[in-house]
Every structure is written in C-alpha cells, then in structure tokens.
Amino acid sequence: MTTFIPKLARITSGRIKEGKHSAADRKRSGAKVNVEYLSGLVPLLRRRLAISRSFSDSAMLASLMAVAKRTSHEERWQAAEASTLGQHLASSGKNMHHALVTILSLLPKPYL
C-alpha cells in the first residue's frame, strides 16, 4: 500500500515556476549589503566595544554582513544576538543591550 505525502511530492516534482522569484523569495534572500562600508565599521566597532584581537576581522565582517542582510529591525536584532559577534560579546561579559544598540545604530538602512 502506497501513501501519498504532499510535501514530499512537491519536493520531488521540482520547481513549478522556473526563473521567476516571488516577493517571499526576495525577502528570504535579504537586502543588498555594502561590504566596503561594513569593512570600515570593523575597526570602529572594535574600538567602541573593546573587542580583543582574538576575535578576527573576517569573523566580525561576516557577522555584520549577516545582520545587515535582514530587512526589519526585529530580524536584525535577532541576527545580531545569534551571530558569532553577539555570542563572543555575550561570552566576554559585555553589556549585550549596549553592544547590540551600538552595532545596529552603525549599520546602514537596508537596501531593498
């Protein structure tokens, strides 16, 4: 006896619409990110938040890019908390509210 599983059927049948992306797909991919601007924020954030050199610049830039891709303030806040930068700040005993507000205030508004 075979059983029909709707979600599995959709997954195995392939894409229904080729080449066209819906608004939900665009929102999922996030906003455009200005990497040059974010790389300029790395030394500034390192100074303002007193982040040691044990946390690399590339890891900080990756965290900033992950946060900046989010389109809403709530999503950015959650991404900043969950990022490696946020985890590093939390483990080092920094004031997380102050650190997250500092990070989010320096990021540019999302480009949609």
Residue 7 inside a domain? The answer is no
Residue 94 inside a domain? The answer is yes
Residue 14 inside a domain? The answer is no
Residue 16 inside a domain? The answer is no
At residue 59's C-alpha, the angle toward residues 75 and 44, to 5°, is 80
Other CB atoms within a 10 A radius of the CB of residue 71 amount to 17
Does the pTM surpass 0.85? The reply is no
In tens, the pLDDT along 8-64 reads 555 555 555 445 545 555 455 667 888 999 999 999 999 999 999 999 999 999 999
Residue 41 inside a domain? The answer is yes
- pLDDT value at residue 33: 86
Host domain of residue 84: 32-106
Residue 99 inside a domain? The answer is yes
The answer on pLDDT for 103 being more than 90 is yes
> What's the number of domains the chain is made of?
1
